[in-house]
Amino acid sequence: MQQYLDSIKASLAIRNYFGAITIALILPDICASVDSDDNKTSGEKYCIWFDKYLAEKFTELFKDDNQSHIIFGSNECYATRCSFLHQGTHIIQHQDQTLKFAKHRTVGAVSFMSLKTDLHSPRKNYLRTSDILFIDSNFFCETMISAVESWMYDIKVEKYKLEKLAAMPNIHLDFHSICNFSK
Domain that holds residue 154: 2-181
What pLDDT, in 10s, does the model give residues 51-107? 999 988 887 755 556 667 777 888 888 888 888 888 777 776 666 655 555 566 667
User: 183 pLDDT exceeds 50?
Assistant: no
Does the predicted model carry a pTM greater than 0.75?
yes
- All residues at 6 or more sequence positions from 48 whose CB lies less than 8 Å from its CB, including other chains: 32, 74
Domain count, the chain: 1
Q: Is 39 left (phi over 0), alpha (psi -120 to 50) or beta?
A: left
